Amino acid sequence: MKKWQWTLVALLGIGMIISQYMDFIASPPEAQMGNVVRIMYFHVASAVVAFTAFGVTALLGLIYLVRKKWIWDQLARVSAEIGVVYTTFVLISGSIWGDAVWNTWWTWDPTLTTTLILWFLYLAYILLRASIADRERAAKVASVYGFIAAIDIPIIHQSVTWWRGIHPNVITAQGFNMPPIMVFTLLFSFLVFLGLYSVILWISTMMAKDRDELSDLRELARNALAKYDERVGS
Amino acid sequence: MLGYLFSAAAVVWIGTFVYVVILLQRQRRLRLELEDVKRMLDEIKE
């Protein structure tokens, strides 16, 4: 591994430790919720990264449709996969918070329901890609589907206003509804989660690129060896 | 509650960090394999 890669991973590790310190030690408990509020730092940060990941999938899918370059499609695919993991995390952390504050693991609140729909939509995106054997066709179909599925993101964001559910609205047009230390902790969590997303997106895309190149080269080597054997045989 | 939350978050962070390191090592191994195949192809061409 190169030196700059280690530096990047070390920085990420330091960010995780600082984030853990900020979430559980530096940040105070909330007046009514107490320590349960600390789940919010993971929950909201995961939600922001999940929405970013799906937004990136939609955008890169469109770029792929225009440019037809394989790398855009791979980035879109990996981003969607990371987005699904983060959405799973959003749903799990939200359920734990809900059990402590609402006294229920799940309720069909508009924000929760639309988030669950988003999870299913991108799970279907992954399954759809896997079900199409032709790589180019899979990329085209997934690009269009990924863009349409992203429509759910602004719906989730607006669901609190449109349908007046019970889900708290932490970030509004007026800013953050919390004290400065909690805002700083939340923003730091965003930063670490986004860093993690970027690093995983980059490594996974590079791996997909190398895997493809390796399979092409193996095919080339096999053909070259077959020709060599033919020549030696004759 | 705080103790459980802290432990759960720590486990998630450590797990994620280990996953990133494993991912980087896998990528390195893949790169080395790729270089090997390229070298082999060059030898065949010669």
Instruction: Identify the pLDDT of residue A137.
Output: 94
Rg (CA), chain B: 20
- In whole angstroms, give the CA distance from residue A138 to residue A76: 12
- Binned at pLDDT 50, 70 and 90, residue A1 comes out as low
What are residue A175's phi and psi, to 5 degrees? 120, -155
Picking from B26, B37, B45, the nearest residue to A214 by CB comes out as: B37
> For the residues A66-90, what does the mean pLDDT come to?
94
Q: How far lies B6's CA from each of A19, A24, A232, in Å?
A: 11, 7, 67
CA distance A108 to A117: 11
- B45: which chain A residues are within 8 Å (Cβ-Cβ)? 224
Contact: B20, A36; criterion CB under 8 Å: no
**pLDDT tens readout for residues A175-192:** 777 889 999 999 999 999
Residue A34, strand partner residues:
A30
Decide if pLDDT at A38 tops 80. Answer: yes
* pLDDT tens, residue by residue, A189-204: 999 999 999 999 999 9
How far are the Cα atoms of A105, A181, B27 from residue B37, in angstroms, in the given order? 52, 54, 15
Q: Out of A92-96, A163-167, A170-174, B30-34, pick the least confident.
A: A170-174
Least Cα separation, residue B8 to chain A (angstroms): 11
Q: How confident is the model at residue B13 (pLDDT cuts 50, 70, 90)?
A: very high
Confidence of residue B15 (pLDDT cuts 50, 70, 90): very high
Q: What are A87's two structure tokens?
A: 């959405």
Which chain B residue has its CA at the smallest distance from A38's CA? B5
Q: What is the pLDDT of residues A99-155, one digit of tens each?
A: 999 999 999 999 999 999 999 999 999 999 999 999 899 999 999 999 999 999 999
As a whole number of angstroms, the distance between CA A225 and CA A217 comes to 12
Query: Dihedral sign, CA of A49, A53, A54, A55?
Result: positive
What pLDDT band is residue A169 in, cutting at 50, 70 and 90?
confident
| Whether residue A4 has pLDDT greater than 70 | yes
Q: Report H helices in chain A.
A: 3-21, 39-67, 70-101, 110-131, 135-149, 152-163, 180-233
Residue A103 is classified by DSSP as S
- Least CA distance to A41: which residue of chain B? B9
Per-residue pLDDT at A226: 84
Q: Residues A5-33: what's their mean pLDDT?
A: 91
Instruction: Mention every residue, 6+ apart, whose C-beta is less than 8 A from residue B42.
Output: none
Report the complex ipTM: 0.87
Q: What is the dihedral of CA A116, A122, A127, A132, to 10 degrees?
A: 150
pLDDT over 70 at A234, yes or no: no
For residue A93, pLDDT beyond 70: yes
| pLDDT tens by residue, B30-45 | 999 989 888 888 887 7
Q: Which two tokens stand for residue A212?
A: 């493809």
Tokens of A202: 């980059």
Torsion sign, CA atoms A77, A78, A83, A84:
positive
Nearest to B38 among A1, A39, A217 (CB): A217
